[in-house]
Structure 1
Amino acid sequence: MAITETAEPPESATAPLRQRLGGFLRAYREFLSPSDVGLPHTPRRRTKGLRREEVAALSGVSVAWYTWIEQGRVDTSRQVLDSVARALRLDEAAHRHALALAGFAPASEGWDTSYDPNLRAVLDGWPDSPALLLGPALDVLAWNSAYATLWPDPADVPEDRRNLLLLLVGDARHQRALPGWEPVAIDLYRHLRTRADRRPKDEDFRRLTERLRSARPELDAWWACRSIGDFASRTVDVVPADGTPPRAYGMTLLLAPQPQDAAILVMTPTRTEPTDQPSPDAPGSGAPRP
């Protein structure tokens, strides 16, 4: 079957989105090795990852067209993008993200920081399960009393610093409360990138990334990484703020209807042995895979 390279530009396939799509695909291309896709590896190979012509051949498109996609110069058909996704071995989340960047999924501009007051009642309905309502940029919008008892109380944090990711990577009290904070932070950042890449004109994500770089410049590989994905539920060991022994909680991120891309982070007490395992895509080195 012939693959149609040209396409009517999707409404949301703006130049900034095309650039992000190109960078996203390039990161995955450079991460793959020839053996990953059944190609022989030559000893004098200089290219990091796959060559563009190899991806083009595997996708069934011309080298020039695939090059233009990576360079953000063209809109392309969904058929081509599906084929490229298969060639690059994109998982479901990465495939959806690539389609969104190409304009084949709805995307709105800007974060809505308001939230449905009924969501506060949802949080308060969990007296034994610490919970946070998080905005699209992971700002802490609301919390329940169980959270303030277990963790450092967000009320004691200046409002402009009430961001879960910023607190996890830059606040000693939060790191003491969650000794295994790194895999959680990695997954939260991947979750955030999944949403933020679809809003290239939004400044909140850029400002947050700048603050993260300022707080932990040695983790710049995290902030520069193009890895995306949904947050993986896990069991974590939390050290209560009152100094009592650590407790095990199941940590889950639930998507909330308002504001768009907001979420509820809920921690359910568990009697299982406490562990803190990273998501399957998070490497042991501490840096997320591209």
Structure 2
Amino acid sequence: MERHEFGAAVRQLRESTAPAAVGLPDGRRRVRGLRREELGDLAGMSADYVRRLEQGRSHPSAGVVNAIARALRVGRADYERLCALAGYAAADGQVPDDVGPGAMRLLERFVDTPMFVSDAAMNLVAVNSAFLALRHWERTGDPWEWNVAWRTFCDPFSTFRQSAADATDHQTILVARLRSALLRYPADASLAALVDELRSRSGLFDTLWREPRPVTAYESSAAFVHPDAGAVTLVGSLLAIPGDDLAALMLTAAPGSADAARLAEIVEDAGEPAIIRVGRAGPG
């Protein structure tokens, strides 16, 4: 399975890479992206070997993975993913937490939409003022107070309510993301410590870690109980931010609903829009 997934990832990256981005002329092309021959030339291998890799008929060495990543000039997140699919640890294995330009654009352009940006370990790294206006994320002084998984399984919010079905979806996503992160970043001590603590403190997390559920949807609904406006039901949609290995969670209400009207009032009362960076959570 891993060979086929690695091959599919290489093909997707090859077909989505503009020739000009790797120093090749565009010209007239019948196919998207790069040809196998072009990738082979850039990576120092034959087109036939590229074909075997993409078809899952050959297992790449760590050197081949690095050569393909360099040839395609992929970002850190894609490099980590290729390494993980090939069964290797990446060069440094640390979870990146820089808020790149893609994340900043989302935060700047959706100022009226409660949103946060998290790293691969589910640590919040930036939030907007609309998110803080919901006033449900109280500070606790715990080392992992800004980690979504920790707050969900070990220190739940008193003003955050979900149905059993939505809670199941939410928990499944968090466990799946942490499992994927630990595979990609095996040298990150803070991530390993977080997973150990979660497994020790939460029987539910430990069960889901040992017997993971399949992710069926990257969104769930919840009621946020605001101290002044009352309960506001919002849907959280998780969006990947390619290249930086970050994700954005956007909270939206049904258009024209009473929840949308209450959310608009809450955001308006928060004053001028702002983006707030929060520090990386965990020990050290």
TM-score (norm 2): 0.52
Is 1:178–1:237's contact at 8 Å kept on the other side of the alignment? yes
CA-CA distance at 1:252 after TM superposition: 1.2
- In structure 2, relative to structure 1, the CA distance for the partners of 1:209 and 1:117 (3 Å cut) is same
Quick one: distance in 1 between partners of 2:204 and 2:153? Answer: 11
- In structure 2, relative to structure 1, the CA distance for the partners of 1:121 and 1:240 (3 Å cut) is farther
Is 1:123–1:131's contact at 8 Å kept on the other side of the alignment? yes
Higher relative contact order (CA 8 A, sep 6+): 2
Aligned length: 182
Quick one: distance in 2 between partners of 1:117 and 1:102? Answer: 27
Is 2:89–2:185's contact at 8 Å kept on the other side of the alignment? no
Q: Deviations over 1:4-30 (max 9, x none)?
A: x9xxxx9xxxxxxxxxxxxxxxxxxxx
CA-CA distance at 1:100 after TM superposition: 5.7
Cross-structure match for 2:225: 240
Quick one: distance in 2 between partners of 1:102 and 1:125? Answer: 34
Is 1:123–1:143's contact at 8 Å kept on the other side of the alignment? yes
Is 1:124–1:145's contact at 8 Å kept on the other side of the alignment? no
Question: Is 2:235 aligned against 1:250?
Answer: yes
Is 2:114–2:252's contact at 8 Å kept on the other side of the alignment? yes
CA RMSD of aligned residues (A): 3.9
Structure 2: segments with no counterpart, 5+ residues: 8-54, 60-79, 260-284
Question: Is 2:108 aligned against 1:130?
Answer: no
Is 1:129–1:267's contact at 8 Å kept on the other side of the alignment? yes
Is 2:238–2:250's contact at 8 Å kept on the other side of the alignment? yes
- In structure 2, relative to structure 1, the CA distance for the partners of 1:122 and 1:240 (3 Å cut) is same
**Aligned AA (1:206):** A
Quick one: distance in 2 between partners of 1:116 and 1:106? Answer: 23
Is 1:136–1:192's contact at 8 Å kept on the other side of the alignment? yes
**Aligned AA (1:255):** A
TM-score (norm 1): 0.51
Is 1:212–1:223's contact at 8 Å kept on the other side of the alignment? no
Is 1:133–1:262's contact at 8 Å kept on the other side of the alignment? yes
Quick one: distance in 2 between partners of 1:148 and 1:156? Answer: 15
- In structure 2, relative to structure 1, the CA distance for the partners of 1:120 and 1:100 (3 Å cut) is closer
CA-CA distance at 1:130 after TM superposition: 1.1
Structure 1: segments with no counterpart, 5+ residues: 11-76, 82-96, 275-290
CA-CA distance at 1:203 after TM superposition: 2.8
Question: Is 2:248 aligned against 1:270?
Answer: no
